Structures are given as structure tokens and as C-alpha cells.
């Protein structure tokens, strides 16, 4: 007898588990006060994830929209035939933390579940200006907007704008406005702000939220690149600014990919007599303004001799051509280039030693190239007149 009772108990327990239900909810967790018709999609599943169509909403208490223990109203339920979907529509009133509560009843008494949907009813804390790409052109109008002013919700408040003197703002539709910038506006950064005014709260206001808007040319780009490049490609990038057009160019190298964006891949030309690659960037916006920047990258390819030859205070470089050519000296062509690759000295010689006067050259890095027969020697030279 005890075994039979135990088996019945286990059988009942298994049935309860097999027919247990759970609900998934899709809908807003935060809504504006005094708004109506908010929709929540409820889908019912078994405990093993199977959609359940044969269920009902049990109206046993507590069912409805509750503020704590106080019943504020009853949502409307629309169950879709042959589906596990039910839509609930709810109207909200005063701000506060509310709950939508209801029972879901399956095909047996054991398959019942209680569903609670927490909803926060509150006014938006701020009304924030939205300025696409953060720039505007003098003498033109720009479409701007505000957040937290969604069409059909929060209709109970208006927006105040704070704009520079001489500018104007006019509402277009919903959260969209037209911001007009006078033609005589000087290039630079300006401040635009917004705040909400709640007409149903005795015109209480939210804090001002300010954004920076640039008129005219974009700010100067900052190029980020390695100091040296070899026979492999290197990545070069600039600060990414929305709404900007990027135009890259390279001297003593080539762009492999990315032109028109804020990041490119470049390949240095290793066969040049001087060892410097310039990466140039111009940025512009719809106003037609352009700002340029340049980054110098030293080319150090395979076979390059990084040895430094120091020019002393005497203002000259003494070269032992026979030693540099490793004993294979013939008629040599010696050339010297500054850091930007501009030739500053060139001479053909047949002597073993050569003195190059440098007193007229500014201190800095130079590149020496010696063509001697089939041998090419390249060195980096640091001219410094300090003892």
C-alpha cells in the first residue's frame, strides 16, 4: 500500500513538471506618464520550450495594473488563435513603479503560472540635442533633433533651445528641427543646448544639456603612424570624425587600401636613393572646407645601414670611400639628401677620401648615397654642430 501511494505521488509530480508553463514578454520597461496603448507581446511555452497554444488567462486576483498593493486598472488581452501569442494593451497614468499581473492557465490545474511585468513610469530625465556629425555650414540650414521626444509618447512636454546670437531654430515634425546658421558666422566651435518643459507639471524643466557644434573647417587631423617602414606594408590612421571626407596621398610609396576612410595601408618604396616617405591627408566636409596634415615615415628596408656618421663642429663630413666600398672602389657618385629627400649635394669622384662641407646645412638627419660600380652604399647622417 505504501508503495502504491508513493507511485501515485511521483506520477502527479511528473505531470506537474511536464505541464508547467512559462511566459516571455516583449514590451517597454519604461514609459512616459499619462500615455496610452502600450503593447506587450506575451508568448507561452512549456517548461521544455514548446510553444503552448491551448491556454487561457485566469482572472483570479491579483490581476491587473498595480501600484504596490493598489489596483489602478485592467489591461486588455487579445489572444491570437492557433498561436502562443497574446497582446496586452495598457494605459498608464502618474509616475511610479507599477506591475502588470496576470495568471496563465494551461490544460490542467497544475499548469498555471503567475506573470509579473514591472514597468517604470517616469518623465525623461533630460532632453538632449542630437546634431548629426557635430558640424554645420555658415549660411545654411541643418536638420537637428532631440531625443526623448518620441512620436506618440511624451507628448506632454515641449523643448526649449539655447543657440548662439543670430542663429534661429524652427520645429519641422516630431523631434526634428531646422537650425539656421547665418552666413557671416566665423569658423569655430559653438554651443547648442536643449531642455524639456513639462506642460502638465506646472512648466517644470529638465536640466540644460549642451553640445558642441563646429562651423566651417574641420579640426586639424592627427595622423598616427609608425616612425619607420620596411618592405612590408604599414597601417596609418587619423582621428575619425563623422561626416568628414578623407583624401590620402603618399610620396615615395603607395596606398594599398583604405583611401577615403580614416585608416589606410601604405607600402614604402625601398628602391629610392633617400629614405623618407611622406603621408599626406586632407579632410573636408560638406561646407567645402579643407585642412591638411603630413606625417614623415623613415624607410628602413632590408640592406639599409643605420650607422650614423657625426659631422663635427668643423662643419664637414670626411668620407673614406675605399673603406665604405669595402675595397671595391671605382668611379663613385656621392649624393646627400635632407630629411625630406631634397638633394643638397652631388659629385662624381675617383679619390679614396672625400670631404663634404656642411656648414651651410641646418642640423638634422640627412641621407648619404654612394654609387660605386655595382655597389650601392646608403647611410644615415646626423649633422650636429655642437661639440
SS3 190: strand
Q: Under CATH, domain 18-121 is a member of which superfamily?
A: C2 domain (2.60.40.150)
- pLDDT of 385 reads 58
Strand partners, 24: 43
Instruction: Report how far residue 359's alpha carbon sits from residue 317's, in angstroms, rounded to the nearest whole number.
Output: 10
Q: Closest Cα to residue 278, out of 301, 306, 298, 300?
A: 298
Strand partners, 171: 177
Strand partners, 140: 181
**Is the pLDDT at 380 greater than 60, yes or no?**
yes
Q: Closest Cα to residue 214, out of 155, 157, 283, 116?
A: 283
- pLDDT of 151 reads 40
Query: Would the CATH topology of 18-121 be identical to that of 129-215?
Result: yes
Q: What is the pLDDT of residues 208-237, one digit of tens each?
A: 999 999 998 888 889 999 988 887 899 999
Q: What is the pLDDT of residues 124-149, one digit of tens each?
A: 777 888 888 888 999 999 999 887 55
Pick the CATH number of 305-383 from 3.30.1240.10, 3.30.365.10, 2.60.40.1930, 2.40.128.130: 2.60.40.1930
Instruction: Report how far residue 294's alpha carbon sits from residue 265's, in angstroms, rounded to the nearest whole number.
Output: 15
Question: Residue 7: which pLDDT band, with cuts at 50, 70 and 90?
Answer: very low
- Which pairs from 145-153 meet CB under 8 Å and 24+ separation? 145/175, 145/176, 145/177, 146/175, 146/177, 146/194, 147/175, 148/124, 148/196, 149/174, 149/175, 149/196, 150/175, 151/175, 153/31, 153/32, 153/35
Instruction: Report how far residue 41's alpha carbon sits from residue 115's, in angstroms, rounded to the nearest whole number.
Output: 13
Average pLDDT over residues 317-339: 75
Fold of 129-215: Immunoglobulin-like (2.60.40)
Task: Quote the radius of gyration of the chain (alpha carbons, Å).
Answer: 38
Burial 329-345 (b: 16+ CB within 10 A, else e): beebebbbbbbebeeeb
CA dihedral 229, 231, 232, 235 (to 10 degrees): 30
Q: Are strands 38-46 and 204-205 parallel, antiparallel or unpaired?
A: unpaired
Strand partners, 236: 264
Average pLDDT over residues 169-176: 86
Question: Residue 17: which pLDDT band, with cuts at 50, 70 and 90?
Answer: very low
Fold of 223-299: Immunoglobulin-like (2.60.40)
Other beta carbons less than 10 A from residue 101's beta carbon: 17
CA dihedral 266, 272, 274, 276 (to 10 degrees): 0
Instruction: Report how far residue 192's alpha carbon sits from residue 174's, in angstroms, rounded to the nearest whole number.
Output: 19
Question: Residue 30: which pLDDT band, with cuts at 50, 70 and 90?
Answer: confident
Query: E strands of 91-206, at which residues?
Result: 96-105, 112-121, 129-130, 135-136, 140-146, 157-162, 168-173, 176-181, 188-198, 204-205
Q: Is 165 exposed, middle or buried (0-12, 13-18, 19+ CB in 10 A)?
A: exposed
* Contacts with 150 (C-beta within 8 Å, 6 or more apart), sequence order: 175
Whether omega for the bond prior to residue 62 falls within 30 degrees of 0, making it cis, is: yes
Question: Residue 13: which pLDDT band, with cuts at 50, 70 and 90?
Answer: very low
* Contacts with 326 (C-beta within 8 Å, 6 or more apart), sequence order: 375
pTM (two decimals): 0.50
Other beta carbons less than 10 A from residue 189's beta carbon: 12
Domain coordinates in residue numbering, the chain: 18-121, 129-215, 223-299, 305-383
Amino acid at each position: 500500500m505504501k508503495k502504491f501511494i508513493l507511485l501515485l505521488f511521483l506520477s502527479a509530480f511528473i505531470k506537474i513538471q511536464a505541464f508547467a508553463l512559462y511566459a516571455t514578454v516583449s514590451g517597454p520597461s519604461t514609459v512616459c506618464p499619462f500615455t496610452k496603448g502600450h503593447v506587450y507581446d506575451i508568448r507561452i511555452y512549456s517548461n521544455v520550450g514548446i510553444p503552448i497554444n491551448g491556454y487561457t488567462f485566469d482572472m483570479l486576483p491579483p490581476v491587473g495594473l498595480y501600484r504596490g498593493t493598489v489596483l489602478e486598472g485592467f489591461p486588455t488581452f487579445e489572444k491570437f488563435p492557433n498561436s502562443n501569442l497574446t497582446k496586452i494593451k495598457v494605459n498608464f497614468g502618474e509616475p511610479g513603479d507599477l506591475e502588470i499581473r496576470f495568471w496563465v492557465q494551461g490544460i490542467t490545474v497544475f499548469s498555471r503560472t503567475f506573470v509579473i511585468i514591472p514597468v517604470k513610469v517616469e518623465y525623461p530625465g533630460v532632453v538632449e540635442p542630437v546634431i548629426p556629425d557635430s558640424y554645420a555650414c555658415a549660411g545654411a540650414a541643418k536638420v537637428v533633433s532631440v531625443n526623448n521626444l518620441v512620436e506618440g509618447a511624451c507628448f506632454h512636454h515641449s523643448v526649449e533651445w539655447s543657440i548662439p546670437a543670430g542663429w534661429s531654430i524652427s520645429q519641422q515634425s516630431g523631434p526634428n528641427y531646422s537650425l539656421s546658421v547665418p552666413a557671416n558666422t566665423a569658423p569655430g566651435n559653438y554651443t547648442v543646448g536643449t531642455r524639456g518643459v513639462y506642460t502638465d507639471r506646472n512648466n517644470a524643466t529638465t536640466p540644460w544639456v549642451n553640445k558642441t557644434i563646429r562651423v566651417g573647417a574641420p579640426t586639424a587631423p592627427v595622423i598616427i603612424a609608425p616612425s619607420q617602414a620596411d618592405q612590408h606594408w604599414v597601417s596609418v590612421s587619423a582621428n575619425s570624425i563623422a561626416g568628414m571626407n578623407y583624401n590620402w596621398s603618399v610620396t615615395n610609396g603607395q596606398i594599398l587600401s583604405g583611401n577615403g576612410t580614416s585608416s589606410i595601408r601604405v607600402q614604402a618604396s625601398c628602391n629610392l636613393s633617400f629614405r623618407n616617405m611622406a603621408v599626406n591627408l586632407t579632410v573636408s566636409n560638406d561646407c567645402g572646407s579643407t585642412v591638411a596634415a603630413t606625417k614623415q615615415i623613415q624607410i628602413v628596408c632590408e640592406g639599409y645601414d643605420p650607422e650614423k656618421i657625426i659631422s663635427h663642429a668643423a662643419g664637414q663630413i670626411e668620407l673614406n670611400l675605399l673603406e665604405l666600398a669595402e675595397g671595391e672602389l671605382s668611379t663613385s657618385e656621392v649624393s646627400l639628401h635632407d630629411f625630406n629627400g631634397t638633394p643638397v649635394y652631388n659629385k662624381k669622384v675617383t679619390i679614396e677620401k672625400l670631404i663634404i662641407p656642411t656648414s651651410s646645412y641646418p642640423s638634422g638627419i640627412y641621407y648619404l648615397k654612394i654609387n660605386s660600380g655595382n655597389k650601392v652604399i646608403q647611410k644615415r647622417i646626423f649633422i650636429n654642430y655642437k661639440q
